[in-house]
Amino acid sequence: MASITSNLKESLAYPFNDLKKFGVIFILNMIIFSLIIASNYIFVNFLRELIAHNNISNINLVLNNQVSIEVAILQIIAFIISIFILGYIYEVIGNSIEKNNQLPKFNIKKLFINGIKVEIINIIYMIIPLALIQIAISYDLTIILVIGIILAIILALIEIMAIDNMVANKTIKAAFDFKGIIEKIKSIGYLTYVGGIIFYEFSYFIIFCSLFVIMILILPIIILLSIYGVLIIYTILFSAVYSYVLISQAHLYGALYNLAE
């Protein structure tokens, strides 16, 4: 447990090793959240106008309307930016595995390619449990829902080591080397591995809870600014904390991989 806690302490401080690079990720996340908020605002406002003019029956117009195009463009831009962030997470994990405490440099081409790799792994690992959950919700199948959730948790735990293994071996095939992945987890110890992840996630959960407490406490003050002022301040706060957790967590899971050595 000593290694688990020492890794956490080191990873919590890691994002502050280079504030300029951390700032870039923070700005990118802020752009993503701003684009998501803007696209949702445009879509909701459009639906509001339909209802106000009793045109809700023409909801199919949404798919052919300029508004839907604007929303799609904003969300596509947000998705593309998120790919670069995933690529940066890939690089952070790599540095951590190599025991390099410097934040990675920004190589646009490299970040995009590695980000796509991580996204592919996310989709492949989660597509079956998410499909089961969707089917269960659609047809009110409780047993299938439970199976889907349990499968999602198990695969999420394995996926952490799968991504680590991919980064360490510099090939996407390593993310599906289940024998090697299980051997890594086994060498760490199943209880240590799962317990460590739970401990890590609980620590980050506390950080997010602290953020929400702060957001609630300052609400009576910033509400005086207008709803736009509230959105701007909340977006800045959430983007900063989210960026911090992403980078710290990636470093932490790279360090977790090294426990198997």
Q: What is the mean pLDDT of residues 141-147?
A: 92
Q: What is the mean pLDDT of residues 130-153?
A: 93
Confidence category of residue 2, pLDDT binned at 50, 70, 90: very low
DSSP state of 104: P
Helix 190-222 with 178-188: angle, nearest 10 deg: 90
Which among 38, 194, 163, 37 has a CA at the least distance from the CA of 89?
163
SS (H, E, C) 211-260: HHHHHHHHHHHHHHHCHHHHHHHHHHHHHHHHHHHHHHHHHHHHHHHHCC
Q: What pTM does this model have?
A: 0.89
Summarised one tens digit per residue, pLDDT across range 35-69 is 999 998 888 887 777 677 665 555 555 555 677 78
Contact 147, 155 (CB under 8 A): no
Contact 248, 12 (CB under 8 A): yes
DSSP state of 103: P
